[in-house]
Structure 1
Amino acid sequence: MQSLQNQNLYFPKGVKLQQDISFENGLIKEIKANPDTLKVEEKYLVPGFIDLQIYGAGGKLFSAEPNPDSIRIIEDQLLQEGTTSFLICLATNTPEVFNQCISVIKEYRSEARNCLGLHLEGPFINPEKRGAHVKEYIRKASLDEIKQLLDFGDGTIKMMTLAPELQDEKVIQYLLDHHVIVSLGHSSATFEQATKAYNQGVQTTTHLFNAMSPLQHRAPGIPTAIFNHPMAMASIIVDGLHVDFEVVNIAAKVMKERLFLITDAVAECHTGPYQHHAVDGKFVMPDGTLSGSAMTMLQSIKNCVKYCGISLSDAINMATYYPSKLIKKENEIGQLAVNAEANFVVLDEDMNIAQVFYKGSEIKLNKAASI
């Protein structure tokens, strides 16, 4: 059995100092206080990060290069960054590209490590709120198409972003009945329409405030529906470009454990319908439209603490425990608990990555991850 001693451990309800954590066969076996140690290490041991919306990493945009090598490179890079669980995301595209990507994930899942499956962001969205999505590929879903898509996906499709105001209720219900997490996004839904969707069972919302009807004093829109609903969750991009840091602060105060972090990160790409160009710390399409982010999950956590008035404990929960609850894996990942996977990140006193463990095995770091 392996162990790390005298660690400051972050749990969903806060930090505990001077703890020993032991693990074996990929699982945490014991967590106990270490009262004999005189010196408290200035390091923080936190759960491995979870990113439920990321398009690429390590120079690979998955939709542009849908092959097992791309996924391996993306997995390797994300483990370097402390992301021990993620959903690879596909933006609105042709059925051929979707099927090709799904085929790769099906083929690869027997050797998959931190890739949990697919998040389909589109194509069943509202063209009025398409953002960087290609308008020509956007369409309304039919129930037969959804059935065929899930059958072909064979369990690899874990989440889908759609605009509920344009989809039939039976389509949404079919997705929910087949254990696909439905996320409201790229939508012009009114407050009433969004509330109805959440009441039907839609669990979450894609990148709060971006590509959705706004919060206005006479038209409360999707954000107010989220704020008012007791169960609806939402992801948010905390790079300071997609959402102002002060707005992140307000959303976190209102939503608490219902708000979680995504990177929405992409990779440089100069071919195909999604050509992401790196410009001044962000990615834009050829026409200048802001596309995905250029940050890591650790950067997002740091931004929450430094700029948004969010405590370190809460920021860590937003990157670990809260998304694990959404995907109903909180007993397996997203927190430090006995019998959970031994996925954790050791941060040094400057909040840079010192060590990463995935299922109990230490990842050899190429270099420390930092802003």
Structure 2
Amino acid sequence: MNTPDRIFARRLFVGGGAEPLSNQMIEVEGGRVTAVRGADAPGDAPAFDIVAPGFLDLQINGAADVQFNFDPTPEATGKIAEGARVGGTAHILPTFITAPGQDYRQAIAAVGDALAAKVPGVLGLHLEGPFLSPERPGIHPAEAIRPMAEEDIKAVEDAVKLGPVLLTIAPECQDAGVIARLAKAGVLVFAGHSAATADQIEAAEAEGLQGATHLFNAMSQLTGREPGVAGAVMFSGKLFAGIIADGHHVDWRNIALAAREMPGRLFLVTDAMLTLAGTAQGFDLLGKAITLQGDRLTDVTGRLAGAHVDMVTCVRNMAAHGGVTLAQALHMASGIPAASLRLQDELGRVEAGFRASLTCMDDALEVQAVMVDGEIFTQG
């Protein structure tokens, strides 16, 4: 790890879905990009075939043999961020899924400590549950799912003071006014593990709902007479959504449909578990045995249990199967998730004044290095 003051890109994707520029020098100082200019040769600067805005993964449960639910500590967040960098991810929201009672408070404390310690790559927190629908638990323990209580609302409101908080809830299972209150406090509220109707999603959006978690998965579906969560999110002109482009969670035709209907709103997530960039071939998830078969994680019934995919693979998959260009796929891994967090003026572009967070690859889209706020981490 070091802090170079220049990076040379033979092809630079500046962001926003724009096609690349050739032979560009990116100048860095104090963790920020200070200039981007044309250059004939790299000189003594590190040089890469492709440089793009650093990837953001807003839904990652674990990596490098560490699962955030099992070890909600600042050290664990650092290990997960390190594992995510293997796939080109510069910044993560460590994701804590449904657990008993108020166990999620440990995750809030861990991310707060990680942010205070400036652990590289830790951007904020994603709480996925326990405030979900018992009708759509997915792999989450149904017995721990419950509505938000007053003390939960206060805990999440306080967490926003530490950094960005994305909260996945089932809107139809919460009391009236909860979403509006959370949104006013700055919480980024997403619908997920939800059986809501389209009308309920529209009402939640009016209160401040910002998006949806893993579009199509663990939510009510689009039908002829009821659009469900999936249809309502695509129909909306404002709601964001993460999607898992691993070839297992969502049919490629649905991914391409969502990309076509949601330009600038659909972004990539991995939903990765501890097996990513790790050695484990299985683990116990709150009493359920999860095994890795190829690149698919399932329980004994065959139900998907998170994912075993990195962000650069999702980018490759989008460009190959999602009906988008490589530039657009890269934007789905960087600028769009940044915008969903309201960080579009800091991350997601390679431009003077933006944070110096970059994903550096070869022409085969193999990750060679990741820069995080000016610090470069090489792969291999």
Q: Same fold (TM over 0.5)?
A: yes
SS in structure 1 of the partner of residue 180 of structure 2 = helix
1:168 matched to 2:175? The reply is yes
Residues 47-196 of structure 1 correspond to what in structure 2 (within 5 A)?
47-111=53-117, 112-151=119-158, 154-156=161-163, 158-196=165-203
Report the Cα offset of residue 89 of structure 1: 0.7
Residues 341-360 of structure 1 correspond to what in structure 2 (within 5 A)?
341-360=355-374
Report Cα offsets for 1:143-189 as digits up to 9, x if no partner.
Answer: 34311443367535601111111112321111101111000111111
SS in structure 1 of the partner of residue 363 of structure 2 = coil
Q: Is the 8 A contact 1:128 1:187 kept in 2?
A: yes
Specify which of 242, 247, 254 is matched with residue 254 of structure 2. Answer: 247
Question: Quick one: structure 1 residues 225 and 4, their matched pair in 2 at CA, closer, same or farther if it must change by over 3 Å?
Answer: same
Identify the range of structure 1 (310-319 vs 7-16) with the bigger mean alpha-carbon deviation: 7-16
Report the Cα offset of residue 79 of structure 1: 2.5
Q: Is the 8 A contact 1:239 1:303 kept in 2?
A: yes
- Could you say which residue in structure 2 is the equivalent of 1:238? 245
Q: Is the 8 A contact 1:5 1:19 kept in 2?
A: yes
Counterpart-to-counterpart distance in 2, 1:319 and 1:115: 16
Q: Is the 8 A contact 2:160 2:186 kept in 1?
A: no
- Could you say which residue in structure 2 is the equivalent of 1:277? 291
Q: Is the 8 A contact 1:54 1:89 kept in 2?
A: yes
- Which structure's relative contact order is higher, taking Cα pairs within 8 Å and 6+ residues apart? 2
Question: Quick one: structure 1 residues 302 and 96, their matched pair in 2 at CA, closer, same or farther if it must change by over 3 Å?
Answer: same
- Could you say which residue in structure 1 is the equivalent of 2:323? 309
Please report the TM-score for the alignment, with normalisation by the length of structure 1: 0.92
Question: Quick one: structure 1 residues 212 and 151, their matched pair in 2 at CA, closer, same or farther if it must change by over 3 Å?
Answer: same
Report Cα offsets for 1:18-67 as digits up to 9, x if no partner.
Answer: 22211111110101123x459xx981110110000000000111111223
- Could you say which residue in structure 2 is the equivalent of 1:293? 307
Identify the range of structure 1 (302-311 vs 91-100) with the bigger mean alpha-carbon deviation: 91-100
Specify which of 8, 23, 29 is matched with residue 11 of structure 2. Answer: 8
Q: Is the 8 A contact 2:129 2:169 kept in 1?
A: yes
Report Cα offsets for 1:312-348 as digits up to 9, x if no partner.
Answer: 0110000000000111111211111111111112211
Report the Cα offset of residue 118 of structure 1: 1.4
Report the Cα offset of residue 212 of structure 1: 0.8
1:33 matched to 2:38? The reply is yes
Count of matched residue pairs = 363
- Could you say which residue in structure 2 is the equivalent of 1:340? 354
SS in structure 1 of the partner of residue 312 of structure 2 = helix
Q: Is the 8 A contact 1:80 1:363 kept in 2?
A: no
Q: Is the 8 A contact 2:368 2:378 kept in 1?
A: no
| Structure 1 gap ranges (5+) | none
- Could you say which residue in structure 2 is the equivalent of 1:204? 211
Question: Quick one: structure 1 residues 134 and 360, their matched pair in 2 at CA, closer, same or farther if it must change by over 3 Å?
Answer: same
1:228 matched to 2:235? The reply is yes
Report Cα offsets for 1:87-142 as digits up to 9, x if no partner.
Answer: 01111111342122222222332222211121111111111111111111111112
Code of the aligned partner of 2:139: A
SS in structure 1 of the partner of residue 177 of structure 2 = helix
| Structure 2 gap ranges (5+) | 275-281
Report the Cα offset of residue 78 of structure 1: 1.8
Q: Is the 8 A contact 2:189 2:211 kept in 1?
A: yes
- Could you say which residue in structure 1 is the equivalent of 2:52? 46
- Could you say which residue in structure 1 is the equivalent of 2:278? none
Question: Quick one: structure 1 residues 279 and 186, their matched pair in 2 at CA, closer, same or farther if it must change by over 3 Å?
Answer: same
Counterpart-to-counterpart distance in 2, 1:272 and 1:43: 43
Residues 254-265 of structure 1 correspond to what in structure 2 (within 5 A)?
254-265=261-272
* Identity of matched residues, %: 31
Counterpart-to-counterpart distance in 1, 2:292 and 2:303: 12
Where does structure 1 differ by over 6 angstroms across 4 or more consecutive aligned residues?
none
